[in-house]
Structure 1
Amino acid sequence: MDLNEYQEAIVKFDMNGDIRNIDKIDFAFLDKVLGLSGESGEVADKVKKIIRDQEGRIRKEDKLALSKELGDVLWYVATTARYLGLSLTDVAGTNLSKLESRLERGKISGQVIIDENFDCRRSSESPS
């Protein structure tokens, strides 16, 4: 299934109906944006608990739980985009172009490493 097929398939789960291409923020749109924020927070909360309770070790069941939460995030992203009249393919393409531009301009830098004391450094830096 491609992104646009997914976006169309999930319309039936939106209790507000098949809303497309809004030109003013209303309650239905706000509900989706706040839902996106909430579901993103649930992903972050699960990761926090993996760090806190499991010393950062990700188990199979954690991956399954995160997959479910990421699916909820995807639903809200797809629905929010539909309300704005945007296809997920277009959103993904625009994002890819933005990232490629940042990379070409040297605006994407190295990986951040977090040690067991949660001290952070860039991968290009020596440990202190």
Structure 2
Amino acid sequence: MALLLLQLGAHPNEIAATQRDECIEGGAFFLDFSRPLGRLRWCGAWNRRLGVTMSLIVPVVHQGEGSGSRSIAVDRGDPYFAELQRLWKERFPRERARPSSDVPAEKVDADFATQFPDDAAHRQRA
């Protein structure tokens, strides 16, 4: 399933990301502009420095986390591929405000698996 970016009324200054039709209430993930956007390139072999960018490694942070540790892969064919690069040029680096309350790690893990079911390769913390 393709990535969906959206604004949530309760978080007007952040951009939510999901691979579902909508975000889970209380379990949204936002683009994390406090960390750099990663690039996976092809130039005869996969690398991070030379060649054509084929995938982006996009940092995300749970709404209940102060600092994020997860990322999702967005391939070149995704409709938001160019938009994500533009957003990082415009907004990186940006500090993120601490949430009003922290969420247990188990909930963050479960929400990530629900919001990004197609991103099995990046389910582990980056």
Query: What band does the TM-score fall into relative to the shorter chain?
Result: under 0.3
Higher relative contact order (CA 8 A, sep 6+): 1
What TM-score do the two structures reach when normalised by structure 1? 0.22
**Greater fraction of residues in helix:** 1
